[in-house]
Structure 1
């Protein structure tokens, strides 16, 4: 089969500047002489950690000037600032049974602050009678390496007389993540190849009582960065012919990689070269993602296609399997 370059279709770019956007066309633009402002953080989530605290997470933002820090807002009030290499924070001193809204803004090394993220909401747990009894330590903690920059942790549920509100994951002596009390597994990304790590898990109840640490899990990431554990899975590619224009389109579908945050951006490679970046605004898909793009007007043209995800820590994950499609035919 012949392989030919994909014809440019610049007039289609505007179609994606909504729920699905092409980064180059829809990015936040600042003054030209200073470079663009930092973009709005994506993948922001908020989860109640107790009756008086909420855990806020977001994806790392790339900026031409570098990211100096992030500002976290509760409503219109700035409540936290964190360094640029951190992408999560606990917001304490909240009221029980109350819904709060949060946004995050990135600040570059020139001190310029980008636009706010989408607003997310979380409702704190109800306050019960005085509770001084901490949950038991999570049991049966296990871990496995999933590539050179990620590990998967799982544990059995802790016990508490009034219920577990959340679990905190610690790397060494530092808390690096929190998940809800009904979750007993997570994937930690942003690790370094060829490095030994120690993880423990603690349970928290609605009164903010923390359990003892679980038995530690020690894992060593491999020294090569093949990225298999962070690659999209179930990748499929087919083609179809448009009814309106008679042109051919490549249709992609995949399962997003499991991470400790939300994946909002993917890079599509066509015939060995980066073709486009796809950004999901709003609720990014977690179970199955799809995307379709123009592939020319000629039938019988073959293309190789694969993609990778930008992980919440700002790094690129591993590539999916590569598929070959021919316009007018199904995938091979």
Structure 2
């Protein structure tokens, strides 16, 4: 005949079973649901760039986890959906000489939408289909670093047979800002510390005619506190002949010979340039073939391998057109 367990052992076994059930139950619980919406975007502006387009810009919203995108509305109807890294857009196909109102909302990964931003309005310009003359290029472009993440650009105004309606700021071959046609300055934000940048500006009129590029201007943002000195190759030039592109640059001063450089085209790694044990003195030159049709545009950057085996900072970008 089996003897019953003592009450003390039964109580201990019951306690262990309860702990095991509690642990299992806790492990199976789903993470708390994200119900908190992002903040509303601030600093929203709307600028008419032509008879049919308005340029909308805003400052980044915040979220307890992460903002994943923005939605732009015109008169309450959704017209654009953009990733979280994009803080401006052109709304095209609008009626000429008409007032249009815009708002922006932020979204997170759980689908929570922020309250709408403040409403901003812009009136598109009167149509002028006969205007086919572009403005002159902006002149005397200057750039000043505003700390480690911003820059201020200044230029001499362009001229046009009607009037300049907007200035588009390009970083390499990508538009990063649009200013009104009455402006001669622009502040570009969202830059990285200790990074070389190259900017140009184009003027635009109401018929969407764009000027040639202004002269290029370069700057390097301030390094983050405690960061090592910038190690980017300097004075990069890129020239195209039929079927080839030739690069020349000054390698960085690293305290030793720079035997390797990485070549990137349009932000993607393309090849490693290897000089061997004795790199050429002074400026370096490298020519590589291209098979793309004439008119193809490339943005070129370089970075050097440092004596400790790591890769240094990227050069200021250069845009080159295949011939």
Normalising by structure 2, what TM-score?
0.58
Q: Which residue of 2 aligns with 1:221?
A: 221
Q: Which residue of 1 aligns with 2:149?
A: 149
Moved over 4 A (4+): none
Q: Distance in 2 between matches of 1:129 and 1:222?
A: 45
Q: Which residue of 1 aligns with 2:63?
A: 63
For the aligned residue pairs, the C-alpha RMSD in angstroms reads 1.5
Say whether residues 1:178 and 2:178 are aligned partners.
Answer: yes
1:33 Cα deviation from its structure 2 partner: 4.8
Q: Distance in 1 between matches of 2:34 and 2:145?
A: 41
1:92 Cα deviation from its structure 2 partner: 0.8
1:136 Cα deviation from its structure 2 partner: 1.0
Tell me, what secondary structure is at the counterpart of 2:122?
A: strand
1:113 Cα deviation from its structure 2 partner: 1.8
Normalising by structure 1, what TM-score?
0.57
Encode CA deviations 1:25-76: one digit per residue, 9 max, x unaligned. xxxxxxx952411121111111111111101111101112311110001112
1:190 Cα deviation from its structure 2 partner: 1.3
Q: Distance in 2 between matches of 1:118 and 1:93?
A: 23
**Structure with bigger gyration radius:** 2
Encode CA deviations 1:312-332: one digit per residue, 9 max, x unaligned. xxxxxxxxxxxxxxxxxxxxx
Structure 1 unmatched ranges of 5 or more: 1-31, 227-332
Q: Which residue of 2 aligns with 1:281?
A: none
1:129 Cα deviation from its structure 2 partner: 4.7
Say whether residues 1:196 and 2:196 are aligned partners.
Answer: yes
Q: Which residue of 2 aligns with 1:282?
A: none
Contact 2:134-2:209 at 8 Å conserved across structures: yes
Q: Distance in 2 between matches of 1:178 and 1:62?
A: 23
Say whether residues 1:131 and 2:131 are aligned partners.
Answer: yes
Q: Distance in 1 between matches of 2:225 and 2:155?
A: 27
Q: Distance in 1 between matches of 2:146 and 2:178?
A: 20
Structure 1 225/171 Cα, relative in aligned 2: closer, same or farther at 3 Å?
farther
Tell me, what secondary structure is at the counterpart of 1:43?
A: strand
Q: How does 1:135-284 map to 2 (within 5 A)?
A: 135-224=135-224
1:158 Cα deviation from its structure 2 partner: 0.7
Say whether residues 1:83 and 2:107 are aligned partners.
Answer: no
Structure 1 164/225 Cα, relative in aligned 2: closer, same or farther at 3 Å?
farther
Aligned length: 195
Contact 1:168-1:175 at 8 Å conserved across structures: yes
Say whether residues 1:114 and 2:114 are aligned partners.
Answer: yes
Contact 1:171-1:197 at 8 Å conserved across structures: yes
Tell me, what secondary structure is at the counterpart of 1:207?
A: coil
Q: How does 1:267-306 map to 2 (within 5 A)?
A: none
Q: Distance in 2 between matches of 1:40 and 1:222?
A: 30
Contact 1:141-1:217 at 8 Å conserved across structures: yes
Q: Which residue of 1 aligns with 2:104?
A: 104
Encode CA deviations 1:262-314: one digit per residue, 9 max, x unaligned. xxxxxxxxxxxxxxxxxxxxxxxxxxxxxxxxxxxxxxxxxxxxxxxxxxxxx
1:222 Cα deviation from its structure 2 partner: 1.8
